[in-house]
Amino acid sequence: MDEEIQRILDKYKGKIKENVENIQDYSPKETFSQDYKKFRKEALTKRLTAYESLCNGSERILNIQPKEKDYIQLQKAIEASHLNLTPIGAYSFSIFTALIIFMLMIFINLISYLLIGTINTNLILLMLFILLIIILAVKPLTNIPKYIASSWRLKVSNQMVLCILYIVMYMRHTSNLENAIKFASEHIGPPLSLDLRKIFWDVETRKFQSIKESLDNYLESWRDYSLEFVESFHLIEGSLMEASEDRRISLLEKSLDVILNGTFEKMLHFSQELRNPITILNMLGIILPILGLVILPLIGSLLGGSGTTKIIIIFALYNIILPVAVYLFGMNVLSKKPTGYAETNLIEQNPELKKYKKIRVKFGSEELYINPILISIFIFLIFMIISLLPIIFYTLQIDFNFLGVSFLDFRQENGALCQPNMVCYGPFGPGSVMLSLFFPLGLALSIATYYSIRNKKLMKITEETRKLEREFAGSLFQLGNRIGDGIPVELAFSDVSKNMRGTPTGRFFEIVSNNIQKLGASVKRAIFDPTSGAIWRYPSNIIESSMKILIESSKKGPDIVSKSLTSISTYLDRIHQVNERLKDLLSETLSSMKSQIAFLTPVIAGIVVGLSTMIVTILGRLSTLLLESSTQGQELSLGGVEALTGLFEIPNIIPVYFLQLIIGIYVVQVVIILSFLSNNIESGNKVSGEYNAGKNLYASSILYFIVSFIVTLIFTLLATNIKIG
């Protein structure tokens, strides 16, 4: 039966080749769908492939079946994100991870008991705390495929308008759906390109009989997430049935209208719904946690348990759990964000740009490229050594008076100042807090330096490319008119470059013209040559695709070229208008997030550090006063409350030195998270995200350092001037 079908297909393919000119132009290669597996490995990150291996290994060990409802949801998420695992593997991984961590905690407690001979209460409390986290984390660990699928859909949705644009541009001059999908998949890039390749793969593996069946099955998975994307594709499919050329073109243009209008409406609703989640994110994830740290020194001194245990718990809460929760909440909010089209990934467009991520040093005729991470580590180590000076001074028994209190202020268990060869706690002094400020400052400056050096040159290229994209629609319209007037394509580039001299578009067309006239290159080689091609100076998906459409349509005559270019110009104008309108709708939200990054978070955190220092200073003075009164046999009464000696125990007080480290690291984490979230709202470009995060880290860390330093000095003076006696 298969041989008979193949014989019929070969027969009609031969007839089609005889009657249709250029049928092989841009037809899919035989290896196109066969390369799906290799392309999938390249598209998926090492992190995802490692997760696949862990899930498959856990399935072989435990093989636990999830509930039927969860199984179906996990299966859909796995298929959407192209993961090579099963729902059983995902569920088994979450249970297996929880069991491993729990058994590890039991093992640590057992070793502690064998070494010490007694049960460590702090370790038991820590184990119970971690057990609670494990129980709460089982469900999120099971839903990792859902989070991956959600992130995948967000990235794909950024490429949908561009995908429809490519298909419409191609089908305007060649009404072939299979070739149009292939053209789009080769110019969009992952992740949507992987989805489009999967359509061909499902046909080759005999899962479906035709491209249309495979495409309809893929579109069905988007019906609940992006109905306008499904409708646009159905209109494109409908254009294949139209006998009238005008009617066919009208349906293609209508498909682009549908997805542009749908994107605009979704963004309008999204911008209205975004305000409350962002307010919740700011208040519950940033403001309230930082303000809650003000009373922690006082509460910590009154509660039982050592200060070390409290520091570990606060560190786990503020530097692990809260940042992860803020990031996941923010990404969950942004997962519903529609966009016009995705920003270009420069490195994917031109791998040669990788060298700009490093520092270039010339030695004669040779060049040496230094990784900026080495400079970042050097900066961090210098500041870290300064922040460790209180610990170094403690080992050297160095301390002195500062603003009426000890500079470092290490104390014994009974509240007396630290003496040599004694067990001491601290540091509690304002000097140690000021020195500890250098740790988050060094951490922020090192990360900021790494991001800035790594993306500075790429950011310049990104800005030039954006300028070119903004004015490219007008230049394409001019180019299409020149070609429509009968001017050859080679000369049309020269004419337009002269008219637009001094602009990015003028420089782009000038490079093409020079390559044609001086190097004798063809139009294709002048644009896409790996060494001298103009496209490598301005790596952009939009520009690259427009030029490939020009080259493909030039095979069918100047009229087709002129119509294609003017149509592309119209489409680009409309996409640009939609994106600008979307930015206006989100401007208020972006302004709120940027003010949070630049001013509110570092200032509030700095004030909290000063207040905490004042509270601990007062507690230290109270403990000293209580010690003196007890040694003199006096009964102390403060506000009618007697015998406070048991309340303000030095081992229970949380040193502000460590509290500031936790706050400072949290500020750095919040600035990075909010920078990337705001960038995802604005553009989604990775280069601009890292570059903006670096700039924000510079400003916020320095402001936090200055505010904390000044407020600590002021509140220390206030605390030492309070009369206690």
pLDDT digits (tens, 9 = 90+) for 403-451: 777 788 787 777 677 777 777 877 888 888 899 999 999 999 999 999 9
pLDDT of residue 120: 63
Residue 468's pLDDT band (cuts 50, 70, 90)? confident
- Judged by average pLDDT, the poorest of 197-206, 294-303, 448-457 is 294-303
- Residue in 570, 593, 588, 568 with CA at minimum distance from that of residue 696: 593
Which one has a higher pLDDT value, 567 or 53? 53
Average pLDDT over residues 299-312: 67
CA 543 to chain centre: 25
pLDDT of residue 385: 94
> Rounded to whole angstroms, how far apart are CA atoms 545 and 539?
11
- Residue in 441, 280, 330, 338 with CA at minimum distance from that of residue 674: 330
Residue 377's pLDDT band (cuts 50, 70, 90)? very high
pLDDT of residue 122: 64
Q: Where are the beta strands (DSSP E) in 175-248?
A: none
> Rounded to whole angstroms, how far apart are CA atoms 379 and 440?
12
pLDDT of residue 456: 85
* CB proximity list for 457: less than 8 A, separation 6 or greater: 356
- Judged by average pLDDT, the poorest of 112-121, 296-305, 604-613 is 296-305
* CA 390 to each of CA 566, 604, 650, 663: distance values in angstroms, whole numbers, following the listed order: 69, 25, 18, 18
CA 253 to chain centre: 34
> Rounded to whole angstroms, how far apart are CA atoms 226 and 265?
12
pLDDT digits (tens, 9 = 90+) for 261-275: 887 777 777 777 777
pLDDT at 287 over 90: no
> Rounded to whole angstroms, how far apart are CA atoms 542 and 344?
8
pLDDT at 502 over 60: yes
* CB proximity list for 130: less than 8 A, separation 6 or greater: 101, 105
pLDDT at 645 over 90: no
pLDDT of residue 339: 57
* Side-chain-facing half-sphere of 217: CA atoms under 13 Å: 19
- Judged by average pLDDT, the poorest of 244-253, 279-288, 464-473, 620-629 is 620-629
pLDDT of residue 426: 76
Mean pLDDT in the chain?
78
* CB proximity list for 189: less than 8 A, separation 6 or greater: 159, 345, 348, 541
pLDDT at 10 over 70: no
Peptide bond into 191 cis (omega under 30): yes
pLDDT of residue 42: 56
pLDDT at 23 over 70: no
| Euclidean distance between the first and the last CA atom of the chain, given in angstroms as a whole number | 102
> Rounded to whole angstroms, how far apart are CA atoms 82 and 105?
35
- Residue in 658, 659, 664, 693 with CA at minimum distance from that of residue 606: 664
**What tokens appear for 397 in the block?**
């028994």
pLDDT at 21 over 50: no
pLDDT of residue 437: 93
- Residue 247: count of CB within 10 angstroms of its CB: 13
Average pLDDT over residues 480-506: 82
* CB proximity list for 168: less than 8 A, separation 6 or greater: 236, 252, 253, 255, 256, 571
pLDDT at 606 over 50: yes
pLDDT of residue 639: 45
Burial class of residue 724 (count of CB atoms within 10 Å of its CB; 0-12, 13-18, 19+): exposed
Q: Residue by residue, what is the 3-state secondary structure of 69-128?
A: HHHHHHHHHHHHCCCCCCHHHHHHHHHHHHHHHHHHHHHHHHHHHHHHCCCCHHHHHHHH
- The helix/strand/coil state of 240 is coil
Which of 46-60, 130-144, 229-243, 583-597 is predicted most confidently?
A: 229-243
What pTM did the predictor assign?
0.73
* CA 537 to each of CA 297, 526, 531, 532, 533: distance values in angstroms, whole numbers, following the listed order: 57, 12, 10, 9, 8
- Judged by average pLDDT, the poorest of 193-197, 374-378, 652-656 is 652-656
Which one has a higher pLDDT value, 64 or 637? 64
pLDDT at 632 over 70: no
Which one has a higher pLDDT value, 600 or 720? 600
Average pLDDT over residues 70-75: 87
CA 497 to chain centre: 38
> Rounded to whole angstroms, how far apart are CA atoms 533 and 539?
11
* CA 205 to each of CA 180, 210, 211, 485: distance values in angstroms, whole numbers, following the listed order: 21, 11, 12, 48
pLDDT digits (tens, 9 = 90+) for 551-597: 877 777 777 778 777 777 777 777 777 777 767 777 777 777 778 78
Peptide bond into 427 cis (omega under 30): yes
pLDDT at 324 over 60: yes
Q: Where are the beta strands (DSSP E) in 305-391?
A: 359-363, 366-370
Average pLDDT over residues 131-139: 78
* Side-chain-facing half-sphere of 226: CA atoms under 13 Å: 30
- Residue in 700, 702, 712 with CA at minimum distance from that of residue 609: 712
CA 233 to chain centre: 30
- Residue in 638, 640, 606, 608 with CA at minimum distance from that of residue 623: 638
pLDDT at 668 over 90: yes
pLDDT of residue 637: 47
Per the CB < 8 A criterion, the answer to whether 684 and 586 are in contact is no
pLDDT of residue 28: 41
Residue 6's pLDDT band (cuts 50, 70, 90)? low
Of all residues in the chain, the percent with pLDDT exceeding 90 is 10
**What tokens appear for 10 in the block?**
């070969």
* CA 517 to each of CA 185, 311, 482, 497: distance values in angstroms, whole numbers, following the listed order: 33, 71, 18, 13
> Rounded to whole angstroms, how far apart are CA atoms 543 and 541?
6
pLDDT at 22 over 50: no
Taking the CA atoms of 163, 220, 223 and 337 in sequence, report the sign of the dihedral they define.
Answer: negative
CA 382 to chain centre: 29
Alpha helices, DSSP H only, in 426-503? 430-436, 438-484, 489-499
Residue 724's pLDDT band (cuts 50, 70, 90)? low
> Rounded to whole angstroms, how far apart are CA atoms 247 and 175?
13
Residue 646's pLDDT band (cuts 50, 70, 90)? very low
- The helix/strand/coil state of 458 is helix
**What tokens appear for 692 in the block?**
């903006």
- The helix/strand/coil state of 424 is strand
- Domains of the chain, first to last: 2-34+158-268 (no CATH), 41-154 (no CATH), 293-336+372-436+586-721 (no CATH), 463-585 (1.20.81)
User: What is the chain's Cα-based Rg?
Assistant: 32
The number of helices, as runs of H, and strands, as runs of E, in the chain is 32, 8
Per the CB < 8 A criterion, the answer to whether 467 and 504 are in contact is yes
> Rounded to whole angstroms, how far apart are CA atoms 340 and 157?
9
pLDDT at 649 over 60: yes
